[in-house]
Structure 1
Amino acid sequence: MDFLKKLFNIPIKEDKQIQNQEVNLSLDDLFVHNFVNKGGKFLYCTSEADVKTNFANILSENNWNAVQLLNPKLKSIVNHKEVTIATNTNSDLPAFTTCEHLIADNGDVLFSSNQLKSTKLKDYTNNFIVYATTSQLVKDTGQGLTGIKTKYANNLPTNISSIKNYNTQNVDDNFLNYGNNNSKNLYLLLFEDL
């Protein structure tokens, strides 16, 4: 290909400049891009019917007939005739919960004790289904923590952590994370609320 560029006198520098240009994405596009690149499974929902249908499809695809319901507000999404709901922590069942924020710049999902109680994220099952809304998108972890501080000013939650990797087979070589593997197989039901 360089031969043709030389033959027709096409400068090669322009192609390299085009490839090195920074692309500015919106918060939702940036989050989805980073989330999917890390192995997360993303389902966009525009109605409550979409949320229920996509949730049922996730369970069907994985042959799951029971879930750990970590947030009782999500009970309306679960079809009680087809799915058994467990309210206690069971490492074999997929966990169904909400989150605090979706971090756009790195595709992480941020949780607190409001979702996880006092159980560490690593002690939960490897399979997570998370319900979130587009209004929970923030640019970075700093904005996510500020959002938590603002929302819960009088009663700050504890156990703030995030899922950073969506491939449970991945090994984290970072010595700062030793013994704290937060890799989960994660499905995200993202509901458009803006």
Structure 2
Amino acid sequence: MSLFKKIFGTGEVSGEEKNADANHFLPEQDLPVDEMFTLNFKKNGGKFIYCDNIGEVHEQFLNVLEENDWFECEALCFEPKLYSLLDENKLIYDKPHHPKFILATCESLVAEEGSILFSSKQIKQYKPSDLPDNMIIYATTSQILGNKSDCLRSIKIKYDKEYPTNITAIKYFEKAKDEDFLHYGSVAKNLYLLLLEDL
């Protein structure tokens, strides 16, 4: 649509012109946050596994191990509540030298960009580049939030006074074919998300 027509409102606006005026870079506002997260997460190359109950989480974890042949290997894990998954599959996680993957939870899932937000509670003081290339993340649907501001607000409420450090997001889950300035300094991870329905 020409600038003249926009200012003076002359003439009818065709459907094509309306579509041309729409900003294709803004997220669709009418999508629920869970759908928005799923679409953006998959677009970023993440592997999404939905689980109805905790039994399915254990089953799908086993499937990921089988798919990648990660049996009898070392894993990195800092959260005692996840040790049972590793123990039942006879994986070594006590002071690993060459871990094949990290098993962790997360602070939240950012729907707006399809990323996963971590803190020192899950990854200690490790930078994303220092973590194994393979990640298996266990999260729940109640952790899906609209944007990073919502996620930081949630951390503030959750921890009250003893805020975690090393708050970082991982957004890219496969190597970019054409690296551009948006990918500069980011680390791509082969990431599986085991998402448990808890709402």
SS in 2 for 1:129: strand
Residue 150 of structure 1 deviates from its aligned partner by: 1.3
* Aligned positions, number: 180
1:145-160 to 2 correspondence within 5 Å?
A: 145-160=152-167
SS in 1 for 2:45: coil
Does residue 109 in structure 1 map to residue 116 in structure 2?
yes
Match of 2:131 in 1: 124
Q: Judging changes above 3 Å, is the alpha-carbon distance between structure 1 residues 41 and 171 closer, same or farther for their aligned structure 2 residues?
A: same
CA shift digits 1:95-144 (9 cap, x unpaired): 00000000001100000000011111210111000000011111000110
Alpha-carbon distance in structure 1 between the residues aligned to 2:39 and 2:66: 26
Alignment-mate amino acid for residue 113 of structure 1:
S
Q: Given the alignment, which residue of 170, 186, 189 partners 1:181? A: 186
Q: Given the alignment, which residue of 97, 118, 121 partners 2:104? A: 97
Match of 1:7 in 2: none
Alpha-carbon distance in structure 2 between the residues aligned to 1:172 and 1:160: 25
CA shift digits 1:12-59 (9 cap, x unpaired): x44775796956211111000000011000000011111001000001
Q: Judging changes above 3 Å, is the alpha-carbon distance between structure 1 residues 96 and 147 closer, same or farther for their aligned structure 2 residues?
A: same
What's the Cα RMSD here? Answer: 2.6
1:63-78 to 2 correspondence within 5 Å?
A: 63-65=69-71, 66=73, 67-78=75-86
Alpha-carbon distance in structure 2 between the residues aligned to 1:138 and 1:170: 29
Match of 1:26 in 2: 32
Alignment-mate amino acid for residue 193 of structure 1:
D
SS in 2 for 1:85: coil
Match of 1:43 in 2: 49
Q: Given the alignment, which residue of 66, 74, 78 partners 1:60? A: 66
Contact in 1 for aligned 2:172/2:186 (Cα 8 Å): no
Alpha-carbon distance in structure 2 between the residues aligned to 1:36 and 1:53: 21
CA shift digits 1:45-87 (9 cap, x unpaired): 011111001000001000111322231101233353x331313
Q: TM-score, normalised by structure 2?
A: 0.80
Alpha-carbon distance in structure 2 between the residues aligned to 1:132 and 1:50: 13
Alignment-mate amino acid for residue 93 of structure 2:
A
Q: TM-score, normalised by structure 1?
A: 0.82
Contact in 2 for aligned 1:52/1:78 (Cα 8 Å): no
Contact in 2 for aligned 1:102/1:136 (Cα 8 Å): yes
